[in-house]
Amino acid sequence: MTVKGERKRTNTWGPFFVTDECDGCGICMECAPDNFAESWDGTYYAVVQQPETKEEVRAMRQAMDACPQDCIGDDWDA
């Protein structure tokens, strides 16, 4: 899957990130609530905690697959 957009600076440092293509739908938050948070103005989401367990990594990848904007990326293998 190709990620659309540029990485937002509001993401916490690490392999997973959200791009500026995010429209704030919240599907990522439903998949991985411990790792995403809504912006102060409610217009987008960002990664606020990188996954620490296998379950969280699975949830993050589920969020990537479910994202209708294809705006969640993973530099894990980069």
Host domain of residue 25? 16-74
Number of domains in the chain: 1
pLDDT, tens digit (0-9, with 9 covering 90-100), for 17-31: 999 999 999 999 999
DSSP one-letter string for 5-69 = S-B-TTSPSSSEEEBTT-----HHHHH-TTTEEE-TTSS-EEE-S---SHHHHHHHHHHHHH-TT
- Predicted model pTM: 0.92
Q: What is the CATH number of the domain that holds 39?
A: 3.30.70.20
Could you give the C-alpha distances from 70 to 52, 53, 78, in angstroms and in order?
23, 23, 18
- Predicted confidence (pLDDT) per residue in 55-73, tens digit: 999 999 999 999 999 999 9
Flag whether 10 is in a domain.
no
